[in-house]
Structure 1
Amino acid sequence: MWEASPDGLASRLVESGALTTDWLPAFKAVPRELFVPDVMWPGRSEGVGQGQALDRREEPESWREAVYSDISLTTQWDDGRHVGKGKGTSPTCSNSQPSMVFSMLDALDVQPGCRVLEIGTGTGWNAALLSERVGSRNMTTVEVDPENARRARKSVRDAGYRPTMVVGDGADGWAESAPYDRVLVTASVTGIPAPVIRQSAAGAVIVAPYATTYGGGAVARLTVQRDGSALGPFIASAAFMRLRGHRTSRKHTGDYLGAKEWPADGDRSVTALSPEAVGDWLPMFVIGLLTSGVFPWAERYEDGSYTLWLRDAAVTSWATVDHVPNAPRFVVYQSGPRRLWDEVEAAYAWWESNGFPGYGRLGLTVDPDTGTHTPWLDGPDRPLRALG
């Protein structure tokens, strides 16, 4: 049983390999509790979602136990529109899971004298940790939410640091402090912002959670090349809140069916590929790298069966696959100019034929001039071909 204390959390993170010895002094110098508000919603150690709110003033021991556990702590809902201790609709700010925080900081490979840009100040914990490491004068952090920025500024300054703290859209970077040697993005992006790459020096490292339209996500570790592009591998799975400018809205399934009831004009077929096989985080990420503008949704039923819906962002095509537990075949309906389930099957077949590659074999090249993001397998000379 781990002790709910700074030393207990440090021991747990060191044993897991997330907290390396070179980051241990910063961990000890910058206590997490200084960057957690009185009211927060602790994440779960397994799975996703948040528990009930904890208020330090009412439950100080439980609050502290959550702070020094390896879990994320939600600190804002619905961009601040939600108030009170109940849960809102969507979490929009958190103090991230410590093991993920220090794994990403380790991947950043911060060296003395590095000029660092952070996109997404959040509660300010990362900004303070990096200020401890490189000095406040070398640290710049950008936060889009004015209230989050205000709270983070106070927390960071109360901890004794004075980095450059900007209220603005992190996708624009911050040219006034450029060029940067390291860039840390703390919200998931569907594309690496071009201004951020342009503001980075040749050889700079960019660490960012990258998400596909289909789903899944991974931490990308890119190095800026002399020609201005950025490339590198994915290094681990990741599930982060989206950068605000990278959020997407979804049309209802009814918008695809029109006035007709399902299955409307869908063409019927059967498949041996179970929706369960394509529902985990890694295969979803791979499918997202190989498809464009396709996203899933599961309509679940009380008997344990469900319908996997696939839709395209252009609202031209849809598909459904009915999953029945232990069934050898599954009924498929597809409609529109794109055969979305066929695309998913082809992506899965590619993944299988290449030995089910994990994150370490997959990577990304970004051209900031064209905005092109090219995923690859085992190196930039083996680009993935889009299926849709």
Structure 2
Amino acid sequence: MTDHDLEGLLDAMMARIVSVRAPVGERIEQALRAARRHHYVPPVALIPAGDRPYLVDRDADPKEWLTAVYTEGAIVTQLDDGATDLRALEGAYSSSSSAPATVADLLELLDPRPGDRVLEIGTGMGWTCALLCHLAGEENVTSVEVDPALAAAAADNLAGAGLHPHLVVGDGAAGAAGRAPFDRVHATCAVRTVPYAWIEQCRPGAVIVTPLHTGIGDGHALRLVVLPDGTAHGRFREYADYMTLRSQRPVYHPDPDGAEPRESTTRVDPRMIAHAPPGARLAVAALTGLRLDIREEPGRFLAWVSGGPGEKALAVWEDGQDEYTLFELGDRPVWDEAVAAYFQWVRLGEPRRDRFGMTVSPQGQQYWIDSPARVLG
């Protein structure tokens, strides 16, 4: 591959980024061109093309591999925490090289400057870490990775590109206290709860950018600013659907042995709740703390709403029905709670995602709308 070929691929990648979002700032574009993505993609990688994922193999077809690297999509680099070979094509995605446009989105929210002390949560194969090195200076970047195999691969990739940030193997929820205080914290994995350790390890005015999964629908990008009183406030900005921090992965509670669900009906279409706009999903999550899972079948749609152990409801939409079957377990009316929260969002005027925010303090996290004074829940 010649420098001319690589420049053409980089130009094409930047053009694809601009096709799905506004043009990136000059500093971010320079970093994307300097931290060559192909240094951080393994020789065999998985392209998650809907229900037909496929492999790209650098040795078997270097041109296809390189073209895939410089497209606009995510590239899966690990299945089942490394327990399943990528060639199996099936398994839970546990690490990836994120889509360049999404990477650019989060970096622009973070806005790292030369000399900023940056903490990255989730080194992965090292690409975002390399971008942060170019933006803030490698001596200022600390990156934490929970998976020893991924951490070792990232260290090799970064060293091969001439970069030597401070790398830590451990749970990113704990941060890296020995390297604090930080001016920026950037998570490349999603959280359900923002770890307070991240706020504790920041100086006042520091910026934290993380994807956040509420458990209902896709994830959201959250930008927080740390205040002198030890709290952090910020708004939800845009779509950001990332794999969950391993220590915060959801726990699925089995149904109690011998439990018989109560059967009834609901007039509320479960698709309305499941496919609600991002603002509605944030409202339902903030007001209830529930989780929503769905499955679509020909002529049939299933939505599971769940809370704690034994708290579950299944709403079943079927084509041609005026009312929909509802199965419930436990004493908590989780389906009614989700429906009530949806209609509360309607009564609020159907606010969009960017009107919602979060405050994080030693006591936990609170959702709000418009300002921290208007707490939801």
Equivalent residue, structure 2, for 1:52: 54
Match for 1:7 among 3, 11, 31?
11
**Alpha-carbon shift at residue 216 of structure 1 (Å):** 3.1
Mark the runs of 5 or more structure 1 residues left unpaired by the alignment.
none
Cα 1:335/1:148, change in 2 over 3 Å? closer
Q: Distance in 2 between matches of 1:290 and 1:373?
A: 13
**CA 299–151 in structure 1, closer or farther in 2 if over 3 Å, else same:** closer
One-letter code aligned to 1:259: G
| Contact 1:311-1:318 within 8 A present in 2 as well | yes
8 A Cα contact 2:48 2:54, kept in partner: no
Q: Which amino acid aligns with 2:117?
A: R
Q: Deviations over 1:102-128 (max 9, x none)?
A: 110000011222110100001101111
The 5 Å alignment of 1:319-338 reads 319-325=313-319, 327-338=321-332
In structure 2, the residue matched to 1:149 is 151
> Deviation of residue 60 (structure 1)?
1.4
SS of the residue aligned with 1:155?
A: helix
Partner of 2:367: 375
**Cα distance in 1, alignment partners of residues 51 and 28 from structure 2:** 29
Distance 1:99 1:230 in 2: 26
| d(CA) in 1 for partners of 2:195, 2:241 | 19
Shift of 1:84: 5.0
How many angstroms does 1:147 deviate by? 0.8
1:270: which partner in 2? 266
Q: Distance in 2 between matches of 1:20 and 1:199?
A: 28
Residues 1:140 and 1:299: Cα distance change in structure 2 (over 3 Å): closer
Instruction: Give the stretch that moved more between structures: 372-381 or 208-217.
Output: 208-217
Matches within 5 A, 1:51-90: 51-83=53-85, 85-90=87-92
Looking at structure 1, the residues matched to 337 and 243 of structure 2 have their Cα atoms a distance apart, in angstroms, of: 27
Select the residue among 265, 284, 299 that pairs with 1:304.
299
SS of 1:53's partner is strand
Give the structure 2 partner of residue 26 of structure 1: 31
Task: Report how many aligned residue pairs link the two structures.
Answer: 368
Residue of 184, 187, 203 corresponding to 1:185: 187
Asked whether 1:357 is paired with 2:356, we answer no
Partner of residue 291 from structure 1, selected from 271, 285, 288 = 288
Amino acid at match of 2:264: R
Secondary structure of the 2:54 match is coil
Question: Does 2:309 correspond to 1:339?
Answer: no
Amino acid in the other structure paired with 1:270: T
Q: Deviations over 1:337-376 (max 9, x none)?
A: 2111110111110111122222211110000x22x11001
Identical positions, percent:
34
Distance of 2:37 and 2:76 partners within structure 1: 14
Unaligned runs of at least 5 residues, structure 2? 1-6
Q: Residue in 2 aligned with 1:384?
A: 376
User: Retained in 1: the 8 A contact 2:265–2:323?
Assistant: no
Correspondence 1:218-229 to 2 at 5 A = 218-229=220-231
Please show how residues 53-202 of structure 1 align to structure 2 within 5 Å: 53-83=55-85, 85-202=87-204
Tell me if the contact between 2:186 and 2:210 (Cα under 8 Å) persists in the aligned partners: yes
Q: Is the 8 A contact 2:263 2:325 kept in 1?
A: no
TM-score, reference length from structure 2: 0.92
Give per-residue Cα distances to partners, 1:160-210, cap 9 Å, x unaligned. 111111111111111121100000001000111111110011000000011
Q: What corresponds to 1:41 in structure 2?
A: 46
Cα displacement (A) at 1:21: 1.7
8 A contact 1:39–1:54 mirrored in 2: yes
Query: SS at 1:241's partner residue?
Result: coil
CA distance in 2, matches of 1:228, 1:61: 51
Q: Is the 8 A contact 2:45 2:86 kept in 1?
A: no
Alpha-carbon deviation of 1:320?
A: 2.4
Structure 1-normalised TM-score?
0.89
Q: Distance in 1 between matches of 2:332 and 2:29?
A: 51
| Two-structure CA RMSD over aligned residues (Å) | 2.0
